[in-house]
Copies of this chain bind each other. A is one copy, B any other.
């Protein structure tokens, strides 16, 4: 374990178990990717997908963030899932139930054509399993216009908070309601493209879409 990812506070919430970290990376639909530009941190949301010991991100080959990452600058990728609002009897003990994973490292630009194709496939399949075989695969031109980055799962940690509020012992007698408002991802009814051709039904990988 590196010193940089060692959790220094509230350690009961921290873990370095790969199984836990991987589960958070896999359930989260978006990551927040941090890099530094001229001393200024920049945090951007991005789609991501884990494949074994790496997390892939993609973006336009022309984007400034992707170009900086491609130069191997230090990066931080954080995926957070919010599971509930924790309502305590005391104002300052309000909190959130969440699961969060953080990776530190430098991104590698994927150059190998086979790994590039596999990376793009991984991203599509992690976000909508069953989707890849149904759609037109990338052309050479599309692949050339898209940067694929791989961040190793090496310096990584997870933080998790679950369960009811923790109030000061004296406060349990207060008359306020206390507990958790659960939060989760709601998946709505699929909305067909207005230009969808007639006679194309909603396929199972769309109609039965679930997460986590």
Contact = CB atoms under 8 A, between A and B. Distances in A.
Contact of A178 (B64, B139, B186, B196): B196
Contact of A186 (B121, B139, B180, B184): B184
Interface in A65-106: 74-78, 80, 82, 84-85, 87-92, 94, 96, 98, 100, 102, 104
B35 A41 contact: yes
Interface residues of A, number: 95
A171 interface: yes
A30 interface: yes
A41 B40 CA distance: 9
Given A142-B92, A164-B195, A176-B134, A43 B36 contact: no
Interface string A15-46: 00000000000000110111111011111110
Given A41-B41, A92-B142, A179-B190, 15 more contacts: A34-B76, A41-B75, A45-B78, A45-B98, A85-B127, A89-B135, A92-B146, A136-B171, A177-B203, A177-B206, A180-B191, A180-B193, A181-B206, A181-B209, A183-B185
Interface of A: 4, 8-9, 29-30, 32-37, 39-45, 47, 60, 62-64, 74-78, 80, 82, 84-85, 87-92, 94, 96, 98, 100, 102, 104, 120-121, 124, 127-128, 131-132, 134-139, 142-143, 146, 164-165, 171-197, 200-203, 206, 209
